[in-house]
Amino acid sequence: MMIPDLLEIPTLRAAFAAGLGPVTLIETLYARIATWPDPAVFISLVPRETALAQARAVDPALPLAGIPYVVKDNIDVAGMQTTAACPDFAYTAQADATCVVRLRAAGAILLGKTNLDQFATGLNGTRSPFGAPRCVFHADYISGGSSSGSAVAVAAGLAAFALGTDTAGSGRVPAACNNIIGLKPSIGLIPTTGVVPACKSLDCVALFANSAADALAVLEVAQGFDAADAYSRRPHAQALSSVPKLGVLAAHDQDFAGDGEAAALYAAAVQQAASLGWAVQTIDYAPFRDIAALLYDGAFVAERLAALETFHDSHAASIEPTVRGIIGGAKRFSAADAFRDIYRVQGLRHAAKAELGRVDALLLPTTPTIFTVAQMREQPVAHNSTLGRYTNFVNLLDLAAIALPAGFRTNGLPFGVSLIGQAFSEASLAAHAGTLHLALGAGAGVHGAQPQALCPPVSDEATLVVAGAHMSGMALNYELLALGARLVRASTTAADYRLHALATTPKKPGLARSPGFAGAGIAVEVWGLSAQSLGRFLADLPAPMGIGRVQLADGTVHSGFLCEAHALNGAEDITAHGGWRAYLARS
């Protein structure tokens, strides 16, 4: 059985059910890792036989049974070295980090530890003695950092998901550079016990995946209170509106470092969000920009020194030069400087929160541009600052964020945007990110395949399967948009459905289940809308259309359009076309 290039959790589960063994999957991925042309992705691998033994013994009932993943090498794995990309700092971990413990218990299989900007200091991926992982689309370009190897491993199809860390954007910038999802949860939602600190009060364990739904599924396993982590917090849902109001950059706040194509892709993402029926309005970005600048340019950088001062003072020569300059440079700040910057952030927080209070979430570029490795090495500090222009403020304001693919420049390099919302809004952000990701059509990873995983509904949201004129871009789609519905994903039905062209004027499709029939499935779309809006929609539904339960190819069941049996008499069977859109295109 073929291993899919786009490794998604539901896809892999379906492959396991169809006969693919976790052992075969793990063997295939070790072979992919061995032949991947970038040797800087991994710092160390789990011994192949160890991973295969775990695959043989995995309990298929576990939530992440057999799902392969990797971790950034500032996260402890028992029996393996933790280097933080500094060989002289390395130690053998005696226990798993709490997040790794939870993933093991859920049946996920660890393949290795990935490269990073040393001590998680940087957003570019070039600050490691183990080499600079490259963008999966062009080896001359940066992968983004500091979680560089983790993002590349997912984008290259070497793992289904990865753990990184995020203090200033390290779980989002590399996602944008490699066309994948990067979820930065709220501070303390995933414990950092067993994670080498960068800025302990701001650090988050971040998640990379090919879909927002996969990132959310991993978050549900990894999150939870841990008394050993002083910053750990118990999860609680902060739901956003199912029809979000998004804050976007005004023209005078847009700075893409001269990258005109990035500016155009951001404008297209904003337009696409509006076309989904979401409200968009400009916000004053000034307080966010000023807070972002303080993270590296002010006394907050001293927290990086606090994490490593003993090692820095005794092994300064072992630290990568740019990282050494940042950490050592913090010695110029006094405790009084630190308090002044804390007061400065607190003052700016009121203005930033006022802007956030006007919207459900922000829709911002993840990065203004992307640099070559050579450019980054020529101006390592200035260009790194550019990369964090729209990410650095997030943890200082205790927000959640998710980065998603948003298209490609003409040279084939990806661009990404981020949704940023209140703490603990991860589920809503992921659902909206999944919708926008699908609508923008950038796919995921190096192969650009469209993800299929479905996020849980937002708040009181119900789902509706449509197979005809209510699909996106078709004649009656406006009826759903008027009710605030959102496109969740495109999909296909289970194999035992047929589609007919009804003898009506104009023609309408009729979807019906035909037990025992084994077809290829019918192309459909899943839409999300509030229960109240669904009720209004159904009240106006004309015969012979009805609503029943429609099973999709992935086994999930949703409310959806089905046709009354009498209307199928004399109707043309168009199942072979695979869907209503394809039928119209050929007729």
Catalytic choice (72, 113, 507, 508): 72
Q: Are residues 216 and 87 in the same domain?
A: yes
Instruction: Output phi, psi for 554, to 5 deg.
Output: -85, 5
Q: How high is the pLDDT of residue 74? A: 98
Residue 307 lies in a domain: no
In angstroms, the Cα distances linking 423 to 72, 166, 239, 396, 427 are: 24, 15, 10, 12, 11
DSSP state of 474: S
Nearest to 209 by CA among 453, 25, 40: 453
Active-site annotation holds for 507: no
Q: Are residues 416 and 480 in the same domain?
A: no
Q: Are residues 436 and 465 in the same domain?
A: no
Residue 348 lies in a domain: no
Contact 120, 167 (CB under 8 A): yes
Give the position of tokens 């218990």: 105
For residue 197, what are its two tokens? 């600190």
Q: Are residues 171 and 77 in the same domain?
A: yes
Q: Are residues 367 and 218 in the same domain?
A: yes
Q: Which residues contact 9 (CB under 8 A, 6 or more apart)?
A: 64, 67, 160, 161, 213, 214, 217, 453
Q: Is 107 left (phi over 0), alpha (psi -120 to 50) or beta?
A: left
Residue 366 lies in a domain: yes
DSSP state of 558: E
CA–CA gap between residue 430 and residue 317 (Å, rounded): 42
Pairing mode, if any, of strands 42-45 and 109-114?
A: antiparallel
Instruction: Output phi, psi for 540, to 5 deg.
Output: -100, 10
Where is the domain boundary, 389, 406, 440?
440
Q: Are residues 28 and 127 in the same domain?
A: yes
Q: How many CA atoms lie within 13 A of 314 on its CB side?
A: 6
Q: Are residues 364 and 502 in the same domain?
A: no
**Residue 483's CATH number:** 3.10.490.10
Nearest to 51 by CA among 114, 104, 109: 109
Q: Are residues 77 and 22 in the same domain?
A: yes
Report the number of distinct structural domains present in the chain. Answer: 2
In angstroms, the Cα distances linking 369 to 116, 288, 376, 417, 419 are: 20, 19, 12, 11, 17
Q: Are residues 27 and 144 in the same domain?
A: yes
CA–CA gap between residue 254 and residue 282 (Å, rounded): 11
CA–CA gap between residue 12 and residue 213 (Å, rounded): 14
DSSP state of 240: P
Range 539-544 contact pairs with CB under 8 angstroms and sequence separation of 24 or more: 543/567, 544/502, 544/510
CA–CA gap between residue 282 and residue 274 (Å, rounded): 13
Residue 230 lies in a domain: yes
Nearest to 580 by CA among 490, 488, 519, 508: 508
For residue 245, what are its two tokens? 């109001």
Q: How many CA atoms lie within 13 A of 241 on its CB side?
A: 14
CB atoms within 10 A of CB 87: 12
Contact 205, 75 (CB under 8 A): yes
**Residue 220's CATH number:** 3.90.1300.10
Residue 36 lies in a domain: yes
Q: How high is the pLDDT of residue 545? A: 75
CA 77, 81, 84, 85 torsion: positive or negative?
negative
Helix or strand (DSSP H, E) at 438: helix 426-440
Residue 31 lies in a domain: yes
Instruction: Output phi, psi for 544, to 5 deg.
Output: -95, 20
Q: How high is the pLDDT of residue 163? A: 98
Q: How far is CA 53 from the centre of its chain?
A: 30
Containing structural domain, residue 582: 461-586
At residue 364's C-alpha, the angle toward residues 404 and 232, to 5°, is: 70
Residue 346 lies in a domain: no
CA–CA gap between residue 5 and residue 2 (Å, rounded): 9
CA–CA gap between residue 392 and residue 395 (Å, rounded): 7
Helix (H, G, I), strand (E, B) or coil at 540: coil
Q: Are residues 63 and 170 in the same domain?
A: yes
Active-site annotation holds for 334: no
Catalytic choice (128, 143, 146, 530): 146
Active-site annotation holds for 232: no
At residue 378's C-alpha, the angle toward residues 374 and 384, to 5°, is: 90
- The sheet with strand 557-563 has its strands ordered as 486-492, 523-530, 461-466, 557-563, 545-551
Catalytic choice (143, 147, 148, 170): 170
State the Cα torsion 176-177-179-183 to the nearest 10°: -40
Q: Are residues 367 and 230 in the same domain?
A: yes
In angstroms, the Cα distances linking 217 to 8, 431, 454, 566 are: 11, 12, 10, 42
In angstroms, the Cα distances linking 364 to 176, 177, 248, 322, 354 are: 12, 15, 6, 28, 17
CA–CA gap between residue 72 and residue 87 (Å, rounded): 15
Per-residue pLDDT of the chain (587 residues), as tens digits, is: 678 888 999 999 989 988 999 999 999 999 999 999 999 999 999 999 999 999 999 999 999 999 999 999 999 999 999 999 999 999 999 999 999 999 999 999 999 999 999 999 999 999 999 999 999 999 999 999 999 999 999 999 999 999 999 999 999 999 999 999 999 999 999 999 999 999 999 999 999 999 999 999 999 999 999 999 999 998 887 878 878 999 999 999 999 999 999 999 999 999 999 998 899 999 999 999 999 998 888 888 898 999 999 999 999 999 999 999 999 998 999 999 999 999 999 999 999 999 999 999 999 999 999 999 999 999 999 999 999 999 999 999 999 999 999 999 999 999 999 999 999 999 999 999 999 999 999 999 999 999 987 776 666 678 899 998 888 878 888 888 888 787 777 788 999 999 999 887 777 889 999 999 999 899 998 888 887 888 888 877 777 777 889 998 877 888 898 888 888 888 899 999 999 988 988 76
Q: Are residues 403 and 519 in the same domain?
A: no
Helix (H, G, I), strand (E, B) or coil at 373: helix
Q: How many CA atoms lie within 13 A of 237 on its CB side?
A: 14
DSSP state of 300: G
State the Cα torsion 94-69-399-216 to the nearest 10°: -130
Residue 124 lies in a domain: yes
